Structure 1
Amino acid sequence: MEKRKKIVHVTHTFYPVVGGIEKSIYEIAIRQQAKYDVTVLTSSKVPDDNYKMKVEKLRSIRLFNMPDLTIPLESSKVLKEADIVHYHSQNSLFSIKLMMKGENVIFTLMAIDSLYNHPNFVIRLFSPLYSKITMNKVLSNSKKLLVKNTRDLRILKEKYNRDAFLVPEGVDDIFFTYPKSNRFIERIGDEYILYIGRLHKLKGVEVLLRAAKMLNSKIVFIGPGDINIYRKMAEKLDVDKKCVFLGYVDDKTKIEAIDSASFIVIPSISEYVEAFSITLSEAWSREKAVIATEVGSLRYRIINGVNGILVPPNDPISLAQAANNLLNDRRLAEKMGKEGRKEVVTWDYVVELLDKIYWGA
């Protein structure tokens, strides 16, 4: 029997933590293991889970309780044994500290030079130096570079004079095959727009709550985070009767919520948190229109007025106006959703693309 080639994914965070990078690496690795010997190398700071793949956790420390500042205190022999080592995120100290130079090194860059507008003053202050150090190491040690969007592709070429492979994120098959239904609206009891994502300041949840007072619709919030913080904020803003917080839900519930929504809104305020936006792809896979802010990959993936609507970040008035206009134009919303569907790919497509990049010349 032929020995299977070994692939190692290096990431400071992984399931059961919920997020875009965790989702991406899981979906890729779970499919790759059908052909290869795959290991996910992550931090001891990641909670335990019943994994369906090889996961090795290295003893680590985390500075200032910030995931990106996770430092491994040991290495692993799998890095030297692997045929391909795929590191994720140049902002991750975990990936940078474990990085070795070699012909087998692949690196996925995410939201390049995006820390400059982080709301944390300390991060903004040190971001130029931090980005310079991490980018220099990545560019010096990587055989092949990957990016998730055309923004990063352009920055990498224009500023760093390096080429990269564009590898988008995929969408689960269930988003293409699950029957359409509008029964979720019965649960909410009224028309609503939908937010999907972490309940976090960088995701623009506060901005959306401030826009709620001007909106002619309810808002349903789906995603992990401290619901109590935002419920209290909604009460303080006197919009609590218009806001429904459901927390984390399974894919079937999420799909039904998307299908019944008037459209989806992505109000993020930072380049840093929108390296790709799986939420955008999931909405488009169900042919739903999206209103999003002009940050990160969103302003490159969305063609304003064609497959979605772009608004300035941190601007609740513009967000509310765009939302109310779209609520009054169902035909446009439907048209934009269908246009967006053309841009969505499956995880199987992503894995096939990686196969060509890994083993190609």
Structure 2
Amino acid sequence: MKIIHIFHHYWPVVGGLENVVKALAEGMARLGHEVHVVTSNYGAEGRPREEVISGVHIHRVKSTRLGYPDLTYPIEVPRSVLRDADVVHGHSQNSLFTVKVIEQAKKLNIITAMHFMAVDALKDHPSALIRLLGSLYSDTMLKRALSSADIRLARSLRDKELIESKLGVNVEYVPDGVPKWFVEHDHAGKSFRQKYGVDGDYVLYVGRLHPLKGIDVLLRAMRIVVSKVDLRLVIAGTGDKRPYVELARSLGVDKYVLFPGFISEEDKVGAIDGSVCVVLPSISDYVEVYPMVISEAWARSKPVIASSVGGIPYRVKHMVNGLLVPPRDPKALAEAMIALVQDRELSVRLGMEGRKSVFTWDEIVSKLLSIYTAR
């Protein structure tokens, strides 16, 4: 098959959805399919417009951008690449770039697939302007994408439910996977502890250092935790750590918190393995469509504590495969962390149950190929 994936970013840009598209494209190419990615020139300055990496044909087209990555507009569309495709698979209806290219593929009578995500997710954004304008944009793009997609897919059960109930169309649930090596890797907790000098029990946050991720809530919870149990907190990820370092200091918990910054995928395995649990204290639907760190924690048989926002409660079931807490509630978050520190049998049981829900990328690629060929 000739398969084309569409998104406004691709390698060397690194991010959640960028990694998803790369995993799918390379996985399909390894199975012998002719795989192309049509993407914008943003984030790839200095790279060729056309190149082949890991068997994937990459086409970077001239584009313009109106401030936000989702508002990337393709000035040109490579119709010669699209014309003889068996399927064109777009990622995120919120991406103007993706929707425009999918619309062009539809005009060429090519089978189109769209992976929907973050439906209505801006309606709880802290900015009133983004709530208003972002929601109008999101609704418009959702309808345009639905009208152009022959195959409708959702990464989260939340998005599937919202589209089906709101617009009455059927959507197939196809979540993200994790690399097979991530699941099969030897236990690496000891090496992580040695490398970063971590002693004693710790809980782990790994992700962007962004206000909507609720890191300030986590630090306030730590002030309660350390008064009752001996526990550390590791906060790993990219972004400006200075406000959180200062907040930890002002709360008197700085000696219990480690900020290693960006960590490699290998170190992430070790960080998860060495932890009591992984914590997601996010405060907004927008940032938690299908958080991969949940899958990564479960792949290593670790439990998660997470805020009940976005797609999280569709995956994390309280006291079944993790603990759910209300967003912006340091006390509830602290109580959940203390519970897992004090009850290791519960921690193990939740982590093992979560592992049952993990898919590898090989499994997801096979599922998508079967969906393509069924059309």
Scaled by the length of structure 1, the TM-score of the pair is 0.93
Kindly report the root-mean-square deviation, in angstroms, between the aligned alpha carbons of the 2 structures.
1.8
* TM-superposed deviation, 1:103: 4.5
Preserved contact between residue 19 and residue 198 of structure 1 (Cα < 8 Å): no
- Give the equivalent residue in structure 1 for 2:221: 211
What residue identity is the alignment partner of 2:272?
I
Pick one of 253, 257, 271 that aligns with 1:239: 253
- Per the alignment, residue 21 of structure 1 pairs with 17
Q: Percent identity?
A: 40
Aligned partner (choices 196, 199, 203) of residue 193 of structure 1:
203
Q: How many equivalent residue pairs?
A: 356
- In structure 2, the residue matched to 1:268 is 282
- Equivalent position of 2:77 in the other structure: 75
CA distance in 1, matches of 2:14, 2:255: 28
Query: In the alignment, is residue 37 of structure 1 matched against residue 68 of structure 2?
Result: no
Mean CA deviation greater in 12-21 or 122-131 = 12-21
Quick one: distance in 1 between partners of 2:99 and 2:347?
43
1:161: how far off? 0.4
Q: CA deviation at 1:229?
A: 4.0
Identify which of 153, 166, 187 aligns with 2:160: 153
Q: Aligned pair in 2 of structure 1 residues 21, 321: CA closer, same or farther (>3 Å)?
A: same
Match for 1:56: what amino acid?
A: H
Map 1:224-235; keep pairs closer than 5 Å. Answer: 224-235=238-249
Q: Could you report, residue by residue, the CA deviation over 1:115-174 in whole angstroms, capped at 9, with x for unpaired residues?
A: 111223221011332122111111111101000122111111111101111111111112
Using a 3 Å threshold, how does the CA distance of structure 1 residues 14 and 224 change in structure 2: closer, same or farther? Answer: farther
- The question of whether the paired residues in 2 share the 8 Å contact of 1:185 and 1:191 is answered with no
| Aligned mates of 1:161, 1:21 — CA distance in 2 | 26
Q: In structure 2, do the counterparts of structure 1 residues 127 and 181 end up closer, same or farther at CA, with 3 Å as the change threshold?
A: closer
Distance in 2, matches of 1:247 and 1:92, equals 29
1:9 aligns with 2:9: no
Distance in 1 between residues matched to 2:58 and 2:243, nearest whole Å: 33
Which range moved further: 119-128 or 264-273? 119-128
Classify 1:114/1:328 alpha carbon distance in 2 versus 1 (closer, same or farther; 3 Å).
Answer: same
SS at match of 1:188: coil
1:281 aligns with 2:295: yes
Report the Cα distance in structure 2 between the residues aligned to 1:230 and 1:30, rounded to whole angstroms: 37
Tell me, in whole angstroms, the C-alpha distance in 2 between the residues paired with 1:295 and 1:13. 26
The correspondence for 1:87, drawn from 79, 85, 90, is 90
Cα separation, 2, equivalents of 1:15 and 1:237: 40
What is the rounded CA distance, in whole Å, between the counterparts of 1:31 and 1:99 in structure 2? 22
Distance 1:321 1:54 in 2: 50
Q: Which amino acid aligns with 1:262?
A: V
Report the Cα distance in structure 1 between the residues aligned to 2:288 and 2:258, rounded to whole angstroms: 24
What secondary structure is seen at the aligned counterpart in 2 of 1:145? strand
1:162-201 alignment runs, 5 A limit: 162-183=169-190, 184-186=192-194, 187-201=197-211
- Structure 1 unaligned regions, length at least 5: none
CA offsets per residue over residues 240-272 of structure 1, 9 Å max, x none?
222211222222211111111011001122212
CA contact (8 A) 2:63 2:74 kept: yes
Tell me the distance in 1 between the aligned counterparts of 2:363 and 2:187. 23
